[in-house]
Amino acid sequence: MLAFVNFYLIPGLVLGAIYALSAIGLSLIYGVMRFAHFAHGDLMALGAYVALAASTGLGISVWASIPFAAAATIPAALVADALFYARLRRSLPAVLLISSFGVALMLRALIYLFFGPTPLTFPRPIVPPLVFEGVRIQARHIWIILGAALCAFILHLLLSRTRAGRAMRAMSDDPDLARISGVATAAVIRLTWVIAAVLVAVAGVFLGLDTQLQPVMGFNVLLASFAAAILGGIGRPWGAAFGGVILGLAEECSTYPLRDGAPLLEPTYKSAVAFVVLIATLLLRPQGLFRGMI
Amino acid sequence: MTARADPPALSVSGVTKRFGGFVALDCVSLEVSEGSITGLIGPNGAGKSTLFAIIAGFLPPDGGTIRLRGEDVTGEPPWRLHARGLARTFQIPRLFSRMTVLENLMVAAPNQSGERLPAPWLARRQIRREEEALRARALGVLERLNLARHAEAPASALSGGQKKLVELGRALMSGASVILLDEPAAGVNRTLLREIAEIIAALNREEGITFLVIEHDLDLVADLCTRVWCLAEGRVIAAGSIGEVRNDPQVAEAYLGMTFDVH
Ligand SMILES: Nc1ncnc2c1ncn2[C@@H]1O[C@H](COP(=O)(O)OP(=O)(O)OP(=O)(O)O)[C@@H](O)[C@H]1O
Ligand SMILES: [Mg+2]
């Protein structure tokens, strides 16, 4: 039982927290702009690498470098929107999706250019895990889980208690009605990018802390993030957060040795879990667990 | 020099609209005087809703002009007309279905800061104060519409008639001074119908809001409207008081098969 908590539950929650942060942004972007943002993973990687540069360059802690990560992802998202997505706003969602794929490649090329293909790690001291009654957890994992929860809580306050948040929800509910009722749609779109970029920067730093930094790190978790967003009902940030946690847990638990010692699923196939969840959701409940928009 | 009268709140002149070869509106002209409740009647398919869509900027006309208080606003997009104080309701009510009734109203309030949204991480005190003021105003409007007890209900849970009232509430929140109502009483039970009529009359009397109302229930039109325009097959066929319009032989013909009990 303890082994399950230590080796499956806690890593699952950590991965789930990262998926959740990324999936919330995808869901918000889909809700407000109605397209699948394929550059989200590479935006995440950009955030992680800029945090790495800031923490090594300035000698600050990784946590303190998160604002630097966001300071890179926010303008990157806004510029991509202004240069590419804004012009295509009236075209088919597939066209926007493909243009975001192009942006993804550009971002990744930038990362290769400045940081090279070799995996890097955040400077972090090797510390023994904290132990509570046999439950062993790395301090950084506690911070990742709490940090993601805090982000979700702040987002909740923003969406439910502020005029800007209401405008965002109105726009994802009925964009035409929002526009004709005088909602400042251009401002809502900008705000959506800012929020999604902050969340994905945090997710990138967390992912880098949990594993290592590679140019494809974000792209590797993109499928799982989409699966989480769709599982939770695309366009519903809470569903996406929930879907992220479920998916993180499912992925980690998929290798649990249930059949006398042999893992349920070989670890190399772990990333297929997201695929299976995605396909099963689309087949069985395409609207997602919480009735999304498709 | 002749003394110039104030321009009508709304004037439509020579508006034409074609859908392919079908002429939905054929050189329609009408006026809605300031502070009035004006009726727009006519059989199904006459073009009434199409005319609303054109007035409110949802559809471009193929010809003609729309003037709001004398100013030519033809072809302006809906949000600009909305900002000028012209609001409409839809024949099939359209609300933000995933938001509460109260939030539906709060979203409709004009944005003081224009195109910019207040930065949520700045000036928290001020944001909270504005939020509270906005909430109080929305609750006041709901009170007025007898919907206060549904404030926290999701908009999708309301009955058809209540949804129409929420649409009216959204128009009020936006500060509209000219409101187009598309069949406010259709499919509404008798009690709610009376209530809706009283609310419209009170808003007109107390706030001076001008209404143009599409309605099939001619008794309601008779109660509310001082002046009535009748549209049939895309043309204005009669105008005047409800008594005059009801007695017009052309109107009777347009409504062939429908009987009027003239008071
Ligand atoms: N977008 C459109 N494309 C083609 N025809 C249309 C369109 N909108 C309306 N029409 C046609 O124009 C005519 C007028 O429609 P409109 O909805 O304005 O009628 P109405 O007077 O509001 O009728 P009702 O009382 O039934 O609501 C109808 O014959 C309708 O089929
Ligand atoms: Mg109609």
Q: Containing domain of residue A203, as a range?
A: 2-121+136-284
Number of Cα atoms under 13 Å in the Cβ half of residue B175: 10
Shared domain check, B130 and B243: no
pLDDT at A283: 85
Burial of A26 (0-12, 13-18, 19+ CB in 10 A): buried
Question: Parallel, antiparallel, or unpaired: how do β-strands A135-137 and B10-19 relate?
Answer: unpaired
What's the alpha-carbon Rg for chain B, to the nearest Å?
Answer: 19
| Residues from chain A contacting residue B79 (CB–CB below 8 Å) | 179-182
pLDDT at B257: 52
SS3 of residue A5 by DSSP: helix
pLDDT beyond 90 at B29: yes
Range 163-202 of A in CB contact (< 8 A) with B? 163-167, 169-170, 173-174, 177-184, 186-188, 191
pLDDT in tens, B81-99: 988 999 999 999 999 998 9
Whose C-alpha lies nearest to ligand 1, atom 29? B45
Task: Check if the beta carbon of residue A254 is closer than 8 Å to that of residue A275.
Answer: no
Q: Compute the average pLDDT of residues B97-109.
A: 93
Indicate which CATH number applies to the domain containing B31: 3.40.50.300
Low-confidence residues in chain A, pLDDT < 50: 294
Q: Final residue of a domain: which of B142, B157, B172?
A: B157
Q: Over chain B, what HEC string results?
A: CCCCCCCCCEEEEEEEEEECCEEEEEEEEEEECCCCEEEEECCCCCCHHHHHHHHCCCCCCCEEEEEECCEECCCCCHHHHHHCCEEECCCCCCCCCCCEHHHHHHHCCCCCCCCCCCCCCCCHHHHHHHHHHHHHHHHHHHHHCCCHHHCCCEHHHCCHHHHHHHHHHHHHHCCCCEEEEECCCCCCCHHHHHHHHHHHHHHHHHHCCEEEEECCCHHHHHHHCCEEEEEECCEEEEEECHHHHHHCHHHHHHCCCCCCCCC
Indicate which CATH number applies to the domain containing A215: 1.10.3470
pTM attached to this predicted model: 0.85
Shared domain check, B31 and B147: no
Shared domain check, B38 and B153: no
B90 to chain A: closest CA residue: A177
pLDDT beyond 60 at B117: no
Share of chain B above pLDDT 70, in %: 90
pLDDT at B129: 81
Shared domain check, B227 and B169: yes
Q: Final residue of a domain: which of B140, B157, B174?
A: B157
- Is A177 a domain residue? yes
C-alpha dihedral over B116, B121, B125, B130, to 10 degrees?
30
| Structural domains in chain A (count) | 1
B53 to chain A: closest CA residue: A180
State the Cα–Cα distance between residues B36 and A229, nearest whole angstrom: 51
| Structural domains in chain B (count) | 2
pLDDT at A36: 92
pLDDT at A18: 97
- Is A128 a domain residue? no
Shared domain check, B196 and B127: no
- Is A129 a domain residue? no
State the Cα–Cα distance between residues A239 and B223, nearest whole angstrom: 49
Shared domain check, B149 and B186: no
State the Cα–Cα distance between residues B24 and B10, nearest whole angstrom: 20
Burial of A70 (0-12, 13-18, 19+ CB in 10 A): buried
pLDDT beyond 60 at B121: no
Shared domain check, B260 and B148: no
Q: Compute the average pLDDT of residues B7-30.
A: 93
- Is A190 a domain residue? yes
Q: Compute the average pLDDT of residues B21-25.
A: 93
Shared domain check, B151 and B136: yes
Shared domain check, B168 and B64: yes
- Is A257 a domain residue? yes
- Is A28 a domain residue? yes
CA of A206 to the centre of ligand 1 (A): 56
Q: Containing domain of residue B262, as a range?
A: 1-95+163-263
| Residues from chain B contacting residue A181 (CB–CB below 8 Å) | 79, 82, 107-108, 170, 174
Q: Final residue of a domain: which of B157, B175, B205?
A: B157
Q: Which atom from ligand 1 is nearest to the alpha carbon of B234?
A: 14
Whose C-alpha lies nearest to ligand 1, atom 9? B50
Query: Minimum mean pLDDT among B50-54, B91-95, B125-129, B219-223: which range?
Result: B125-129
User: Mutation test of ligand 1: which of B49, B52, B88, B218 has the most ligand atoms closer than 8 Å to its C-beta?
Assistant: B49
Question: Which residues make up the environment of ion ligand 2, defined by Cβ < 5 Å?
Answer: B 49, 91
Shared domain check, B106 and B91: no
Q: Which listed ligand is nearest to B45 at the C-alpha? A: 1
Shared domain check, B258 and B182: yes
User: Mutation test of ligand 1: which of B48, B54, B231, B233 has the most ligand atoms closer than 8 Å to its C-beta?
Assistant: B48
pLDDT in tens, B146-204: 999 999 999 999 988 899 999 999 999 999 999 999 999 888 888 888 899 999 999 99
pLDDT at A236: 84
Shared domain check, B150 and B68: no
Task: Report residue B122's pLDDT band, with 50, 70 and 90 as the boundaries.
Answer: low
Share of chain A above pLDDT 90, in %: 62
